[in-house]
Structure 1
Amino acid sequence: MAHGPEGQQDDGAGDVPVGERLRALRRARRRTLRAVADAAGISEGYLSQVERGMANPSIATLQQIAGALGLKMGDLFAADYTTGPRVLKAAAAPSLTFGVLGRKFRLTPGPQHHLEAFLGEFAPGGSTGDQPYTHGDSEEFLHVLEGEVELHLGGEMFALGAGDSIRHSSAVPHKLVETGGDGARVLWVISPPSY
């Protein structure tokens, strides 16, 4: 059970109005009212009213706002929207299979933080996929924990081994390929969140 900023217990998403959550998520993503309102197809004044609890948006409008923030509707109701210390036990880290022979574990709980961190595991010959991809215009940091990988970044390739790291823009098409034949583990840190 999490505790709020004043030591109060936070038993779930229902304790905080959606407008307050929206404001916290928007600010964490460093987005202005105008930028989010424009992307959501609503007025800046209306979004301000929603954030201050003076207007009650429809589900469709909430979906538009969430999309403008790069979120899913369910993210607006996640219990862990606040800032502050959060512990995520390794066994509870959400994971997904992606690319070719790869798995990704989210290490940062909640969508509201100023950064995202992921642990990637690749079987021999694994990759993030056949095609390079982009996501947002964030700063992305990659650190190789174990094994050998090759980062295809724009028109360049970078061979990286355990202990090596690289920083780049997530707007540049990129893909990662395990090249050592023994599997690899990598750490990605993305700021602001865009994945």
Structure 2
Amino acid sequence: MSTTPDKTGHQLGAKIRKRRKKQNLTLQALCDASGVSVGYLSQVERDNATPSLGTLAQIADALGVRLEYFIASHKPTDGLTREDHRPRFALANSSLTYEALATDFAGSELSSYLLHVPVGYTSEAVSHEGEEIIYVLEGEIQQTLGDQVFLMKTGDCLHYSGETPHTWSNPSDIPARILWTGTLTVLSRIGAAKHPKLPDEPEAV
């Protein structure tokens, strides 16, 4: 049985598949986590079967989102955050502070954060799929891409491929604040306020 497009114009199966791949989950891994058979989930992802709300809730939970992620329409107001109401969060044993800017709606590709970087902070080198843009709002950041080093000051911007090994630091004597935007998933926004978690902290920039 085929599904029909929802109010956002996207097929349910495509949304599930896109979210699964964004979470780097295999079909089998999602089946194991949700309790749904591989054959059935494969049919759902191809829009050849329509799950009940109960089954969809199991799939949503395994993907780290609420049921509304798949069945509710995204409104412009859902993506609006106010400076004085945007919560900050930090990881245990980390000196970085984050503010989440992007909205995690079905089909969204971007992640975006304000990073408050203390004096002397240095990340480890990482590489990954996707692309990133960093814009220095305040202070200075030293960004290393492969064998190139860039000293970025307020107003400077850098757009690069995440596949290039990169690391960054704040070598100055004042805190820095940067805007980071990228296509990789850095943080699952569902439950972030209670359980902030970044898989690999340095991937934030």
Fold in common (TM above 0.5)? yes
Provide the C-alpha distance between the structure 2 equivalents of 1:96 and 1:78, rounded to a whole number of angstroms.
Answer: 27
Decide which of 161, 170, 175 is 1:169's aligned counterpart. Answer: 161
The 3 A distance-change label for structure 1 pair 132 and 76 is farther
Provide the C-alpha distance between the structure 1 equivalents of 2:39 and 2:153, rounded to a whole number of angstroms.
Answer: 47
Decide which of 73, 95, 98 is 1:101's aligned counterpart. Answer: 95
- Paired residue type of 2:125: P
The 3 A distance-change label for structure 1 pair 61 and 103 is closer
The 3 A distance-change label for structure 1 pair 173 and 83 is farther
Q: Report if the CA contact (8 A) 2:140-2:172 is conserved.
A: yes
Deviations 1:97-143 (A, max 9, x none): 4785321211112254221111111122123x3x2234x41111111
The 3 A distance-change label for structure 1 pair 122 and 25 is farther
Q: Tell me the TM-score normalised to structure 2 length.
A: 0.60
Which structure 2 residues correspond to residues 1-195 of structure 1 after superposition, within 5 A? 20=12, 23-24=14-15, 26-27=17-18, 37=27, 40=30, 43=38, 46-49=41-44, 52-54=49-51, 56=55, 59=58, 63=62, 66=63, 73=64, 75-77=65-67, 82-85=73-76, 86-90=79-83, 91-97=85-91, 101-110=95-104, 112=106, 113-127=108-122, 129=123, 131-134=124-127, 136-191=128-183, 193-195=184-186
Query: Structure 1 regions of 5+ residues with no counterpart?
Result: 7-18, 67-72
Q: What is the identity percentage for the equivalent residue pairs of Structure 1 and Structure 2?
A: 17
Q: Report if the CA contact (8 A) 1:151-1:175 is conserved.
A: yes
The 3 A distance-change label for structure 1 pair 30 and 140 is farther
How far 1:150 sits from its partner (Å)?
Answer: 0.4
- Paired residue type of 1:151: Q
Q: Report if the CA contact (8 A) 1:143-1:163 is conserved.
A: yes
SS in 1 for 2:95: strand
SS in 2 for 1:46: helix
How far 1:44 sits from its partner (Å)?
Answer: 7.2
Q: Tell me the TM-score normalised to structure 1 length.
A: 0.63
SS in 1 for 2:174: coil
Q: Report if the CA contact (8 A) 1:37-1:44 is conserved.
A: no
Q: Report if the CA contact (8 A) 1:88-1:107 is conserved.
A: yes
